[in-house]
Amino acid sequence: MKWLIALVVLLIVGAILGPTASGNAGYVLIQFAGWSIEATVVGLIVVLVAIALITTVIVSILRRLLNKTQKGAAWFSNRSDRKAKQLYEEGIRLLLDDSPEDASLKFSAAYKKRGAQETAAMAALAACLAKDTGKAQYWHDEAGGFVKGSDTLLNILKVSQQVSADPHNADKAVQELLNKHPDSAHVAFLAKTAFKASGNYNALKDLLPKLKQHSELSPADFERLEYDVYFDYFVSVGRNGNDALKDAWQSLSSKQRSDATIRLAYASALRHLGEQELSAKVILKGLKREDIHPAGVNALKLFNGKHGKLVEFVQEKLKQNPDDKDYLYAFALIAIDNQDYSLAQRALKKLVDIQPNDKAYRLLGDAYYALGDSQLAANAYKQALAD
């Protein structure tokens, strides 16, 4: 009401001062159905504003009177409930339509019409999905006992936003979440992010079985994740020296050491740390036990010429089957590592005759280039692009 009175005063003052300042009070003539009304501009504005003020006052009085009667109160209550229900349903549809920000606004409006705790809970859910921590916390508080003990999404949101700013405390928080919600896929994947950010590779390694049980990861995706986790783990341990790395490897179960992905990650970490011969020994042992396949070793380019027994093993495999494409590629990698580009070129030439592929052609181009034959190198690179 106060704002309306202030508006009336401002309009009247403006209507008086404006024409007075210009020297023209201004008149209005209205003729309709034989009736004529003549008034100054100031007078007309005052009358219209007065009518609006009186109408507003009358409506307000009637509303208060109706609210005091049982039927009137019920009518207004039902009207608010109907509007709240409509807004609530619109919010749900927006959530299903993947529009959590808009859904949050609808639930907020519904809550103003009817302050139900379940509406506040839905607003908290929408805010969580919209990644708005402040609103999520507010609506979670408003929901009160309705959401008692149901704060997993809110805590996930808080920790996820803490990961980059404070990875150490995020690590602690996610550990608590894991203990509280051991079967939650969302918590498990948040833990993966938090542990990686904090450099807690040991915890990340122990988390792998939990991640594997969730269907969000395909077998290929999990294999790649497992490789990355163990590679980072071995590299971090290896920075403390070879003895520490060897102890970490020996601490794994025999089943883990025979796992192709883990063994390849270990060999890659050794190569990364400059231990080429040790890497070759790990590869040789895995090949002899058939824990790993030469194709997997080739994909990571782990074959090298720093361990004579590995070179002899590859040569023996080629004697048994000269057209084995995996060992031909492995032999070429070993030759290039030993800077014997002529030998590598011959092996790769035979390989592309047996099974042309972009990787072999690209490596053949490298061999030709090292031999100083730029034209043949260019031709090989073109074939790599074509394949």
Comparing C-alpha atoms, which of 55, 111, 66, 65 is closest to residue 88?
A: 111
pLDDT tens digits, one per residue of 138-164: 999 988 888 888 888 888 899 998 898
C-beta of residue 361 within 8 angstroms of C-beta of residue 334: no
pLDDT tens digits, one per residue of 91-104: 999 989 999 999 99
State which H helix or E strand residue 58 sits in. helix 41-68
Alpha helices in 130-275 (DSSP H): 133-143, 152-162, 167-180, 185-198, 201-212, 219-238, 242-250, 254-257, 260-272
C-alpha to C-alpha distance for 109 and 255, rounded to whole angstroms: 58
C-alpha to C-alpha distance for 193 and 190, rounded to whole angstroms: 5
Q: Kindly give the confidence (pLDDT) of every residue in the chain, 387 residues in length, as a single tens digit, with 9 standing for 90 and above.
A: 555 566 656 556 565 555 554 555 566 666 665 666 666 666 666 667 777 777 777 777 666 665 555 555 454 457 778 888 898 899 999 989 999 999 999 999 988 888 888 999 999 999 999 999 999 999 999 888 888 888 888 888 999 988 988 999 999 999 999 898 888 888 888 998 899 888 898 898 989 888 888 767 788 888 998 999 999 999 999 999 989 999 999 999 999 999 999 999 999 999 999 999 999 999 999 999 999 999 999 999 999 999 999 999 999 999 999 999 999 999 999 999 999 999 999 999 999 999 989 999 999 999 999 999 999 999 999 999 987
Which residues on neighbouring strands pair with residue 354, listed in sequence order?
none
Comparing C-alpha atoms, which of 233, 179, 239 is closest to residue 208?
A: 233
Alpha helices in 290-373 (DSSP H): 294-299, 308-320, 325-337, 341-354, 358-370
Phi first, then psi: give them for residue 244, nearest 5 degrees. -65, -40
